[in-house]
Amino acid sequence: MRITLIFFFFSLILHGQTVNDTIDLKSSKSIYKHKQLTNPNSNYTFCDDDSDGLIPFDISQINTDILNENSTQIGFQSGIYICTSWSNVYLVDNVSTSPQINLVCHVTLGGFGTTDIATNLSHELFVSKENRIYKIDGVTCQVLETYDYNIYDDYTITSLSFDTSNNMYYGGYNSSVYRSSGDYSASELWHDFGSGSAAGDFVICNGKMYIAWKLNGICRLYQVTIDSNNNYISHVDLGELPNPTYGLASELGKLYGVNPDFLYEISLNPLNFNTILTNTSTENWYGSAGKNEGISFSVSAFETLSNAQNNVNPLSSTWSNTVPGGQTIYVVIKNLITNQSQTIPVDLIVNFPPTYVIPEPIIHCLNELNPQLFDLRSTENLITGNQSNLVVSYHNSITDAQNNSNPLPDQYTLVGNNMDVYVRVNNTLTGCSSYFSFKIIVNQVPVFTQPNALISCTRSNPIHSEVALENQANVILTGLDPDHYAVLFYHSNQDAVLKTNPISIPYFTALNQEEIFFNVLDLQTGCSSVGSFINNVYEENQNFVESVHIETFDWTPNQNAISVAVLGNDIYEYSLDGISYVSDGLFENLIPGIYDVYVRNVLNCGIFSKEIYLLNFPVFFTPNNDGYNDYWNVNFSNYEADIKIYIYDRFGMLITEVNPKSVGWDGSLNNKQLPSSDYWFLIKRKDKNEYRGHFTLKR
């Protein structure tokens, strides 16, 4: 997890101080820090994201903060000296708050003004002019000593500074920088940069040396790595400075630059500048020096006052509190020049981030009004519950939420089908925040199959019929997985939309006709679609068969047929056994015999049935009293009422009328046996259909 420390003040690091190792801002917890500083005690408020009240602290940063707030109590009042083109010396006070510039003195050296100014560990002032360096009185500017190094061909020293070991550095219009130690009577080459020249000063800040260097007419800022003896190791070019920059100053851990027209603060990583004070005079500002550039402090923190007083067990750069919720530590500042020291109690207060409830995904469905529009603010009460002093904001990314930037509007229009909304919950009293996300989704709606109107049947009066809603549900869900979709039925469209007052199953109705509404719910997304169908209730056989017409095609051994037709608007099915029904009323390839024809409404409001006979006749008979084929009659004619059977000889003379219910004709006429021959018959049926044929009598 990445750890973030946020400070509401400038982080000041005084050069030359002795502090614990710097902290790596990557640890096991997220930290948000808010500091409220009062002297002599300092209060720091932190936030703990895992709610155990224990967090890692950046002790080196706390040491630096306390030093910057209290160094003047055991040191000198801070400020920045500026020398000018008229050889005046000014002091800028209250640099970090309300800078004010006051004249200190005038240096009387004759000719053009001083080019730079510096101060050493003893707060002695030095200025440069042409090829000489002068130590001057800090009140009167009277020259106390003169150093003539006579090194530069052009006799000009443009840059002057001291390090934390009281070594003097100076440079001019070439690439060489010189250093002088001890009584400053002699100097040696410190480093040759190979190209360019010193533009202003060689000041140390945070263990690095910073140089304003002129290269190809442009002022650059060099950051120089030095060893423990302040010897050159390497350098990097940080970028361009305001041009021209004639001086650098390090004061209480901050880096400043001087331009002829303004004093500015330099921020690193990234490199940028902030104007502190503008020159309103007619003289140019040249060199600069921090009033406390040469002072060195040691700073250490301790878990107990006793450890602080005895200078034992100082806290490491990264330290976690041992008391949940925070505790008091003690920071000791010592001026290594004067040996003055001060102990500062520091209260570390650990607060917990606000608790919260993560909302369920907000799901809209495409059939809603403005489905892409989401009211994010509607989740606030659920998120915060009964907690007070909480501010909730919604963001498009976790980075925006953590930075509290680019909040989303309460009424947010979603682009696309879904999105993660990142939420920041901030406690305005503690400054602690919590972060999480939830989804907003726009889902498709179920696509169902529209059922036909339903016909329900009843035998009761008044009507009280069971309605087969389960069958309709199966039709509605055609093609949909019944494990993922559900159908409920309602008496009104409003109930179906709101999913209220569903119809209980089994359902009985007392209405002849009604509209039944249904809601198809996607169990996975929560989206639903609404539809309806008409339910008609008939008494059994009501509005059933208006007219059933049955036609037979018989008189063959096995190629007979029955054709059934129904006049009516409903849909019917047909059967010859009352069990298996078909939609076509034509039955073919039948043998002669008795058949029961069934006709039913598809929805089973009653069944029509009728017995049908497929007739046939013997093609010959042998009336010889042997018990086989002794009589001739139409097969199954005895089942058909009012059938008439007439027999003729080949000349068309009527021989007899055969009773359909008798055994048949015995081949005689007036008790006389007729000879073998072909005889003809005529059959008249009740439906007035007639059939003619012939058969053979054999003796």
Q: Read off the pLDDT band of 464 (50, 70, 90).
A: low
Q: Is the pLDDT of residue 73 over 80?
A: no
Q: Is the pLDDT of residue 32 over 60?
A: no
Q: Read off the pLDDT band of 14 (50, 70, 90).
A: very low
CATH architecture for segment(s) 362-443: Sandwich (2.60)
Highest mean pLDDT among 288-297, 514-523, 550-559, 689-698: 514-523
CB 636 within 8 A of CB 664: no
Q: Read off the pLDDT band of 572 (50, 70, 90).
A: confident
CB 49 within 8 A of CB 61: no
CATH code for residues 547-614:
2.60.40
| pLDDT value, residue 540 | 64
| pLDDT value, residue 17 | 33
| pLDDT value, residue 287 | 92
Highest mean pLDDT among 76-90, 239-253, 398-412: 398-412
| pLDDT value, residue 151 | 66
In the DSSP assignment, the letter for residue 18 is B
| pLDDT value, residue 60 | 85
Highest mean pLDDT among 416-425, 463-472, 639-648: 416-425
CB 12 within 8 A of CB 205: no
And the tokens for 421?
């909304």
CB 138 within 8 A of CB 125: yes
Q: Read off the pLDDT band of 154 (50, 70, 90).
A: low
| pLDDT value, residue 183 | 87
And the tokens for 612?
């049908």
Average pLDDT value for residue range 225-251? 92
- Rounded CA-CA distance 33/41 in Å is 17
User: Comparing 222 with 8, which gets the higher pLDDT?
Assistant: 222
pLDDT per residue as tens digits for the range 239-277: 999 999 999 998 877 899 999 999 999 998 889 999 999
- Rounded CA-CA distance 579/609 in Å is 12
| pLDDT value, residue 144 | 94
- Ranges for all domains in the chain classified under CATH 2.120.10.30: 80-174+192-290
The conformational region for residue 53 under phi > 0 = left, psi -120 to 50 = alpha, else beta, is: left
Q: Is the pLDDT of residue 140 over 80?
A: yes
Residues in the chain: 699
Q: Read off the pLDDT band of 327 (50, 70, 90).
A: very high
CB 205 within 8 A of CB 221: no
| pLDDT value, residue 438 | 97
Mean of per-residue pLDDT scores for the chain: 85
User: Comparing 41 with 484, which gets the higher pLDDT?
Assistant: 484
| pLDDT value, residue 75 | 61
**Edge-to-edge strands, sheet with 297-302:** 31-37, 42-48, 341-351, 326-335, 297-302
Q: For the chain, how long is the longest CA-to-CA vector?
A: 182
| pLDDT value, residue 72 | 62
Q: Is the pLDDT of residue 31 over 70?
A: no
Model-level pTM?
A: 0.46
pLDDT per residue as tens digits for the range 505-524: 888 887 888 999 999 999 98
Identify each DSSP E strand in 187-231 by its residue range.
Answer: 188-192, 197-205, 208-215, 218-226
CB 587 within 8 A of CB 562: yes
Lowest-pLDDT range, 31-35, 257-261, 516-520, 561-565? 31-35
Lowest-pLDDT range, 141-150, 321-330, 449-458? 449-458
The three-point CA angle 441-444-445 to 5° equals: 125
Average pLDDT value for residue range 187-215? 91
Pairing label, strands 454-458, 528-539: parallel
- Ranges for all domains in the chain classified under CATH 2.60.40: 362-443, 547-614, 620-697
CATH architecture for segment(s) 620-697: Sandwich (2.60)
Q: Read off the pLDDT band of 544 (50, 70, 90).
A: low
| pLDDT value, residue 44 | 85
User: Comparing 193 with 32, which gets the higher pLDDT?
Assistant: 193
CATH architecture for segment(s) 80-174+192-290: 6 Propeller (2.120)
CA dihedral (215, 219, 224, 229) in degrees, to 10, reads 90
Q: Read off the pLDDT band of 583 (50, 70, 90).
A: confident
Q: Read off the pLDDT band of 89 (50, 70, 90).
A: very high
Q: Is the pLDDT of residue 297 over 90?
A: no
Average pLDDT value for residue range 41-69? 82
